Amino acid sequence: MTSVIEALALGRGPKRVVVKDTIDIAGHPTRAGSAALAEAPPARRHAEIVERTLSVGYRIVGKANLHELAFGMTGLNAWTGTPENPCFPEWIPGGSSSGSAAAVAAGLAEVGIGTDTGGSIRLPAACCGLYGLKPTFGRLDRRGVMPAATSLDCVGPIAADLEELIAFMAAVDPRFVIPATQDLPRVARLDVAADDAIQAAVEECLTEASLPMTSATLGLLDEAYSAAMAVINRETFDACAAWRDDTRLGADVARRLRAAGETSDTELREAEALRRAFTREVDRLLETHDVLALPTLPHAPLTRAAAEAGEQDLTISALLRPFNLSGHPALTLPLVPRAGYPLALQLVGRRGDDAGLCRAARLLAGALRATATE
């Protein structure tokens, strides 16, 4: 496996796709970027998303690298090699779907299929200057995807072009149809903690788009982040406990996995109660608004050098994880990187209204193009 993708030769079609190596492709082992799975046997059948992708004419050209066991935010991987960030070489590619994003940013594929349990599509997409969609939980079939049991993880696409992302979703999900309405989407601009440069870039984009907009808050947002951490820790430990003492695990993942095993039943019950309360809070706000808008990242991601020196920053996902907990669809759009590091805007839509979310993103993408040419 190279640092970005392991080359395959499957299917035929005009559009190239890379698939994260937590997703089964028949005849190829699924190793999740981990030496602990080095002897994994070849998958016997395609994951459902792979079957669907091939059936609608896409060509799969590789399995994409990732942060080991999909349990990390930097995208670094000492065993397989770390994908370079083609657009921002000094910065991390972002995890855990680092290879899917890096391959698309490098022009090796039009679409990268990743998974998002706590921001793992949206973070690498943002770090690499791309579009990334975490669909509504359960929208795209996860059969054949690691982990088999999850209440957070979603399969979704990454693309350099929003229309490419929309076309992929429409191809693999017949229910995904962009609304024909001419009405402008009503936007709730969420008041969240983020660096000044990020706030300014988001505000500029929203102002340029001239959409009906009001300011709003989600009072449980910070608590939802903590609750999502508790859930992912328990579910990842349950899925990966067989490898917790494997000496081949990377040091960072081994530490996180051992700590995840200490998540108590009480913490999990509290997290599930918070999930229900936060989901209601988001649903109520979306009764009067079509989408929520907020930064994708609260601050600059780690530099690659800092990450390689051992620094960790799970709070980079502070604005991402809450919407895994609630199950709402969320899309990241790249902004002009005027702060010297990747900037991105996140949109969140109603559960099940992934197409409406992408329609709103189209309007904002137009505003971004106008801003970029000024």
Of the listed 34, 100, 120, 326, which one is catalytic?
A: 120
Is residue 120 flagged as an active site residue? Answer: yes
Q: Which two tokens stand for residue 170?
A: 């429409």
Of the listed 20, 34, 134, 317, which one is catalytic?
A: 20
Distance between CA atoms of residues 123 and 321, nearest Å? 10
Is residue 96 flagged as an active site residue? Answer: yes
CA proximity to 106, closest of 122, 86, 126: 86
DSSP letter, residue 84: P
Q: How many residues can be counted in the chain?
A: 374
3-state SS, 224-249, equals HHHHHHHHHHHHHHHHHHHHCCCCCC
Assess contact for 120 and 100: CB atoms under 8 A: no
Assess contact for 120 and 114: CB atoms under 8 A: yes
Reported as half-sphere exposure (CB side, CA atoms, 13 A), residue 239 has a value of: 19
Distance between CA atoms of residues 93 and 29, nearest Å? 24
- Spell 134-155 as b/e; 16+ CB within 10 A means b: bbbbebbebebbbbeebbbbbb
Is residue 20 flagged as an active site residue? Answer: yes
Distance between CA atoms of residues 245 and 236, nearest Å? 15
Q: Give 147-151's long-range contacts (Cβ < 8 A, gap of 24+).
A: 147/235, 147/236, 147/238, 147/239, 147/240, 148/239, 149/235, 149/238, 149/239, 150/117, 150/235, 150/239, 151/231, 151/235
Of the listed 15, 34, 63, 96, which one is catalytic?
A: 96
Assess contact for 177 and 152: CB atoms under 8 A: no
Distance between CA atoms of residues 33 and 120, nearest Å? 14
Active site residues: 20, 96, 120
